[in-house]
Amino acid sequence: MKILLYLCVNKKTNMNNNTQKPEMNITINDLVILLMSQEKPTWVNVLSKTKVRMNKTGNPYYEQVYKTTKGNYFICGTYEDMVKERMKKEGLTPNFVSEECKVGEHLNKCLLFNDNTQKHYLQYYVFPNSIHETEYEYEGRNIDRELFKSFEVKKSESSRQPQENKHTPLSLTLNNIKKITLNGTRYTIVEG
């Protein structure tokens, strides 16, 4: 009886070790197709690397600092519906009407295309409970953000949303996505 129990416990442990997420290498074009097929709201995990937007005047770090972020983001939410739902929760009349997206034209709920830049963008949302980590790199080494923060381009804080807890749609150029986990599969973006 002890031997049978031991085999069952070990078999269960081995099965759990084999439940790793499948991994695939894909190109940006493959990522566009993958995101176009996404219809339902879901969470994704994204690893991205972007150049930090900074003012040029007197800035020794200009065009040389990169931000690497790994985070869980919500995609395919309907912005207007999400804001109205939040307004209801805060006891406000849900009369919010969204405006046209300034980043690009919606191809679906999470993918945008900008005719001027000829680039695709992932639209996503971050929530207070979203987990993300950010590191900054200058000349190949980590750098403390406080050293260059005063040179960063200030982000607009304006919002037409009346509720206290606001939803802000964010966007990320697909070229800046290095890895994405979607629907249980980890994708690494490669040149193609």
Query: How far apart (Å, rounded) are the C-alpha atoms in residues 176 and 190?
Result: 11
Query: How far apart (Å, rounded) are the C-alpha atoms in residues 84 and 167?
Result: 10
Cα 93 to Cα 78, 80, 83, 88, 183, distances in angstroms: 18, 13, 11, 6, 35
- Any idea what DSSP says for residue 98? P
Per-residue pLDDT at 151: 96
Name the stretches of the chain with pLDDT < 70.
1-19, 157-159, 162-165
Per-residue pLDDT at 158: 58
Q: Tokens 């939410």 map to which residue?
A: 77
Type and span of the H or E element at 177: strand 177-182
Beta bridge mates, 68: 49, 135
**Residue 15 resides in a domain:** no
**Residue 161 resides in a domain:** yes
Domain range enclosing 139? 21-189
pTM of the model: 0.81
Cα 41 to Cα 38, 50, 74, 75, distances in angstroms: 8, 25, 7, 6
What domain count does the chain have? 1
Per-residue pLDDT at 129: 79
What are the tokens at 21? 């997420």
Per-residue pLDDT at 9: 35
**Residue 3 resides in a domain:** no
The per-residue DSSP string of 18-36 comes to: T-PPPEEEE-HHHHHHHHH
Beta bridge mates, 119: 114
**Residue 64 resides in a domain:** yes
**Residue 155 resides in a domain:** yes
**Residue 70 resides in a domain:** yes
**Residue 62 resides in a domain:** yes
**Residue 2 resides in a domain:** no
